[in-house]
A = this chain, B = another copy of it.
């Protein structure tokens, strides 16, 4: 059992690792290869400084289509006293790029001279006249691209270490560098391990886990300039693991041994590494990702000219977010070191944290966040933190690190975020907050086609209003029943958004009811059954419209929540409730029809309600939100929403009222 009492601080772990790497001579001297200067050289790293082999241009070249001549010969030319020069001896036609004859030192553009043919008539070919008539003098070296204008032979073109762009390739070719030495890409072997792992598939049984860490790691490695070699999945068996690691070590410059998701699997990893080399570090004080192993393994097959006998190996943790972060924090700098580049630094942006986060004091804690601008403020909204939640990395705009020693951050604190996306993309983000609805996925997809990115946080209807008040979202979704009037949302606006001008716009009417297992095996017929001792209920979180709806009806029936089994168990989305029912964790829960249909559950309709959008006035006319209004008026989109079960779109887009 490995209990990570001995996690090392990240800097310390790296210094131990790099000291050993240094000793092993890994990556030194730089291995290079000779390649042609063509499009395949893009992104490669120069292993040697390139000097111009020829000048560019490598001769005095005409910069125009025109006539080359000696400037001296037309020194006296003027409109009233034109000078005639006969073609061939002292004047010759040149196209742009043609060399200038030795005796010439200027070009007159063809449109500035008068070509004359035989007998003074216009010539048949204006580029080959009998003579030309020049009516103005020309300064020496006019309209000539001087030899070396761009680059002079022997001058520095690009220094060693340059990562080649399209334009660098142009500069290299122009200066006669048709072959170049670039750093050989480091070969990175990736070994996924775990008896529970299966190849990506849509058919996975219980206990089978889809292996995709090796794909993510390979994709990262290629982006960072390495060559990725994926090994097939190896089961948790020491001899098999040793064989795979030895083989990959022999064939690669760096090995990533990706443990299965079980904690026990890391023991295998460390045993394998210890048996084939050395475990230098086991456990780094970072989260997610602390069970990282850093070590060295010996190559068993050696070429005599090969100076490296030991290569680094990284034991990559099994949870996907941990694996991905290990890639960024540990593997990327190794590849950069091999290539002689600076480790990648992401652009940083200052933002305001939207909610409080706690953090383990002993670890550098990496938080994935969504970043976007609301009003004048750049906001960072934390994403789910589980190391297994890969969607949080796919959605993330950036990463922020809470250093060891800090136990958390408060809502409203300024933070620095390392960005995954360009600042420009962030400006396209629409922050929606509040109540979860199944049709928001359709909206996100449709907005995606209109160059907007919808980011919705499910914090419940009331939470959405609170966020709007704080200026942390462009709009909120809400379906809060007013028990006194039977109306939706309006009373709450007055309480929660006093003095804030908002428009309340109808999104859809929707049907709420009980989500039940297929066939309703427990024979549930309504809210009043929830107190049955043989039933487990799954609830929604406080502040959600669905919870308000439930509590209203329980109250009407005189039922106390405490008498319902499972009442304290809260989910944040309709789908969360549906999954709880599907998986047997609960027998029923309150939710929308679409959630039941999505997971093939039974639906017992009970209530209809109105789901509205609350949009502060400053955004209703904004360019950012205009595609949202277009969609609510787009029949095709409205029909797409209507196809979801339990939705009434007849009033979509209608103004309910203006408030505040």
- A residues with a Cβ closer than 8 A to B are 1, 3, 36-39, 41-42, 49, 53-60, 63-65, 95-99, 102, 105, 110-111, 126, 140-141, 145-162, 165-171, 173-178, 196, 199-204, 206-207, 209-210, 212-213, 215-223, 228, 230, 260-265, 318, 320, 324, 327, 342, 345, 347, 384, 386, 388-394, 396, 420, 422-424, 441, 444-445, 448-449, 451, 569, 573, 575-576, 578-580, 582-585, 598-599
Contacts and interface: CB of A to CB of B under 8 A. Distances in A.
Given A213-B170, A219-B169, A423-B347, A445 B149 contact: no
**What 10 pairs between A and B have smallest CB-CB spacing?**
A173-B212, A95-B262, A166-B219, A176-B202, A178-B200, A159-B448, A39-B218, A156-B441, A154-B598, A171-B394
Given A199-B178, A261-B97, A583-B60, A39 B222 contact: yes
B264 A95 contact: yes
A53 B582 CA distance: 15
Contacts of A167: 216, 324, 390, 393-394, 396
A614 to B, nearest CB: 23
A330 to B, nearest CB: 15
Contacts of A219: 39, 41-42, 165-166, 169
13 contacts: A56-B390, A58-B206, A98-B196, A98-B207, A155-B575, A162-B448, A166-B215, A173-B200, A173-B210, A174-B212, A174-B320, A174-B391, A342-B451
Nearest to A41: B219
Contact of A153 (B152, B264, B599): B599
Contacts of A3: 111
Given A95-B265, A166-B220, 19 more contacts: A36-B200, A41-B219, A64-B263, A98-B207, A98-B262, A105-B585, A145-B386, A146-B579, A147-B583, A148-B576, A160-B448, A165-B219, A166-B223, A167-B216, A167-B324, A167-B390, A170-B394, A177-B200, A178-B200
A234 to B, nearest CB: 16
A165 B218 CA distance: 11
Nearest to A140: B569
Contacts of A171: 390-391, 393-394
A386 B65 contact: no
Given A219-B166, A422-B347, A99 B206 contact: yes
A96 B448 contact: no
Q: Which of A174, A201, A207, A324 has the most CB of B within 10 A?
A: A174
B150 A218 contact: no
A44 to B, nearest CB: 11
Contact of A201 (B176, B222, B265, B389): B176
Contact of A152 (B196, B222, B228, B578): B578
A611 to B, nearest CB: 18
Nearest to A126: B1
Contacts of A396: 167
Contact of A39 (B99, B173, B228, B345): B228
Contacts of A57: 209, 388
A156 B445 contact: yes
A98 B208 CA distance: 8
A576 B152 contact: yes
A351 to B, nearest CB: 16
Given A167-B216, A216-B170, A424-B345, A261 B206 contact: no
Contacts of A203: 176
Contacts of A38: 215, 218
Contacts of A212: 37, 169-170, 173-174
A596 B318 CA distance: 62
Q: Which of A95, A155, A203, A228 has the most CB of B within 10 A?
A: A95
